[in-house]
With several copies, the nearest count.
Chain A
Amino acid sequence: MGRPDAVAVGDPLIMAGKTWRSRLIVGTGKYKDFAETRAAIDASGAEIITVAIRRTNIGQNANEPSLLDVLPPSQFTILPNTAGCYTADDAVRTLRLARELLDGHALVKLEVLGDAESLYPNMPETIAAAKTLVAEGFQVMVYCNDDPIVAKQLEEIGCIAVMPLASLIGSGMGILNPWNLQIILDRVNVPVLVDAGIGTASDAAIAMELGCDGVLMNTAIAKARDPVMMAGAMKKAVEAGREAFLAGRMAKKIYQAQASSPTDGIIAPRKS
């Protein structure tokens, strides 16, 4: 390529004092097997990956490999989430377990869901959990609705990143309300990452072009017909959207277009 890309010239994502070259965070669920999971995550270039915390199946497959064998904390920043939690209390307990599991790791993704059908976040419970977790020293990246007032409140509580949804988890509907994201970006100083709802590459590019600091996705990659190829597409889409944002797009003009070719020097119409 004719130029060093934005990443190489130094445009890192900075959260909680750490820097990352990739602005794409990916989940590890819904894959066919661990091999596909690993291949897709490698193709995505993600440095941060989310994991869920679940009960062991007592006495079963004690010797099967575990997720963290395939995706070791030595190679990736593991971001434990609270998927499946519907109360502040369950979310807090889950992340305390995660911290113990990961040897004191503090960076976590908080999500408290409202109901199992929509998987829409329950913001009052999320706010309550965020207060507790911040007080306990967690570095909280918080999944939230696209309410700019709530997003600002989560920043004030001490969350290190706010992650509004683009659309419902697993819906692949893309960014349903870019205006709310814009208002959030105008108000919030911590990183804003779009989480949930991304369906294809252009959705990720649009999120970045709005000025978001990153994108988190899982289903869009895992449930593509070719997850590994889609992971590569998402990597490029996030970089393309970020670079387009930094490059400053042309103005939109519904009308009064100006030709890309000069308008003088046209050859003379032939006399008929």
Chain B
Amino acid sequence: MIAITLNGESRQFASPPTIAQLVEQLELAGKRIAIERNGEIVPRSRYPELKVADGDALEVVIAVGGG
């Protein structure tokens, strides 16, 4: 059982998913997003291999209208 912070909200997982699996769950697969883990960018190429770890702080972002 692990806990992470995702865009400021707490999430639990029975077993740590890969970033790719997490993106899948969030229905964000194929969308233009970017992910930061503990202040570091996670390159898209590494989503399949990288597993989230207990205590991770993740930020998942998209582009929105702005000036």
Q: Do chains A and B touch in the complex (CB under 8 A)?
A: yes
- Mark B26-55 against chain A: 1 for CB-CB distance below 8 A, else 0: 111001111110010111100000000000
Contact (Cβ within 8 A) B67 A267: no
Contact (Cβ within 8 A) A58 B65: no
Total interface residues in chain A, CB < 8 Å: 46
Contact of B65 among A51, A55, A56 (CB under 8 A): A51
Total number of A-B contacts with CB less than 8 angstroms? 126
Contact (Cβ within 8 A) B33 A52: no
**What B residues does A27 contact at CB under 8 A?**
65-67
Complex Cα spacing A102 to B32, Å: 8
Complex Cα spacing A83 to B60, Å: 17
A101-B34 contact given A28-B67, A219-B67, CB 8 Å threshold: yes
A51-B64 contact given A66-B31, A97-B36, A100-B43, CB 8 Å threshold: yes
A100-B67 contact given A66-B31, A93-B36, CB 8 Å threshold: no
Known: A52-B65, A67-B63. 14 other contacts (CB 8 A): A28-B65, A54-B62, A62-B26, A62-B27, A66-B62, A68-B63, A97-B36, A99-B41, A100-B44, A219-B67, A261-B66, A261-B67, A267-B36, A268-B8
| B residues adjacent to A (C-beta < 8 A) | 6-9, 26-28, 31-36, 39, 41-44, 57, 59-67
The 6 closest A-B pairs by CB, nearest first: A260-B67, A52-B66, A27-B67, A218-B67, A261-B66, A62-B27
